[in-house]
Structure 1
Amino acid sequence: MSLLVRARRCNPSLIEAARGGDTEALVSLIAAAQPDIRRYAARNCRAADIDDAVQETLLLLYRRVGTLRAVTSFSAWLFAVARRACLRLLRRAASTEAPADDAEARLAHLAPEDIRIDLSRAIQSLPDHYREVILLRDIEELSIHEIAGVLGLTRESVKARIHRARIMIREYLVRD
């Protein structure tokens, strides 16, 4: 069940009580939201970042639920918080990557078969929706427009997924 669907099922009076400062309501709201935030993070974050993204999202829920303007906007707000946490962690990981020269130097000493194995493992480590766009783009050699049509996504979504997938692949290849 998606985060948005589950969050919509949260009792509006529970959300309203949490907004008003009711500690028990806030604890119940966090407990109800946590599994869905974790599922969202598992789909959109690197495996190493899932727990951090969940923690950041729940902490922000705890701190800011009182600032929520309308109960009906809770699910969209929570979804946006989780998305931003995943993106922030991905950017942080990308900025701490080893320089490309280090990666190239390491890969230059590997046999072609080892490079293929490493690349295959890197692609397999991707979340499904990132693996899918990488395979369509780099293996099947489809255009961005064609991938968008096949997956029912916008061109911008396809480009973003390809970009994030390549960052994850680069990170996988550089580590060790």
Structure 2
Amino acid sequence: MEAIEATPALVESARRGHRGAMDALYRRFAPVVHGVLLGYVQQADADDLTQDVFETAVRRLGELRDAAAFPGWIVSIARRAALDEKRRRVPLTGVSVEAESGTATHEERLDAERTLAAIRGLPEAYRETLMLRLAEGLTGPEISARTGLTPGSVRVNLHRGMTLLRTALASGGPGGNTR
């Protein structure tokens, strides 16, 4: 796991135009951005929007006053991009889950779609933390380091989010009454 202190140094280096620093920031924060986006949009859109978020970040890096605030700043750019994308699109009638491989059964795809719909129905803090953990595979400490949330907040969000997710899935509704 990378040192938390390295992020401000990478941001400062990227501000000076060092391509390697921006690449390192991308590698470190792309899973976070992608996970946040998945909480709002389809996977294909999240893949494309991840690139857009980093292009926006590169253009606006000079506007970031505190390099240590980069994790929260990039997450807020991702949220805005996802919400903008949702406003632009015609609402979908269902949730589509792209299979990683062709081996998933129809029932497994339906379960995945139902779970994703339930996660998308959760409050933002829980939705994003669960997407980072379940979809992106980040650990609690990695989520904390890359989002700026305290380790305690991540633990609480994961615990409460999982509780709400179980309730939503048990109720049979995509999002249950969790909003």
Displacement after TM superposition at 1:35 (Å): 2.3
Identity within the alignment, %: 27
Residue 91 of structure 1 corresponds to which residue in structure 2? 87
- In the TM superposition, structure 1's runs of 4+ consecutive aligned residues that sit over 4 Å from their partners are 6-10, 131-136
Distance 1:7 1:30 in 2: 15
After superposition, the Cα gap between the structure-2 partners of 1:10 and 1:84, relative to the gap in structure 1 and judged at 3 Å, is: farther
1:60-96 deviations in Å (ceiling 9; x for gaps): 12211222111121111101001111111111113xx
Residue 50 of structure 1 corresponds to which residue in structure 2? 46
Distance 1:90 1:7 in 2: 35
Q: Which amino acid aligns with 2:53?
A: T
Residue 63 in 1 paired to residue 59 in 2? yes
Residue 21 in 1 paired to residue 17 in 2? yes
Higher helix share: 1
Aligned length: 120
What residue ranges of structure 2 are gaps of 5+ in the alignment?
94-109, 123-163
Residue 77 in 1 paired to residue 67 in 2? no
Two-structure CA RMSD over aligned residues (Å): 3.9
Residue 39 of structure 2 aligns to a residue in which SS? helix
Distance 1:11 1:73 in 2: 9
Q: Bigger CA drift: 45-54 or 82-91?
A: 45-54
With CA pairs under 8 Å and 6+ residues apart, which has the higher RCO, 1 or 2?
2
Residue 129 in 1 paired to residue 119 in 2? yes
Q: Which amino acid aligns with 1:61?
A: A
What residue ranges of structure 1 are gaps of 5+ in the alignment?
104-119, 149-157, 159-176
TM-score (normalizing by structure 1) = 0.51
Distance 1:125 1:52 in 2: 22
- Larger-Rg structure: 1
Residue 144 of structure 2 corresponds to which residue in structure 1? none
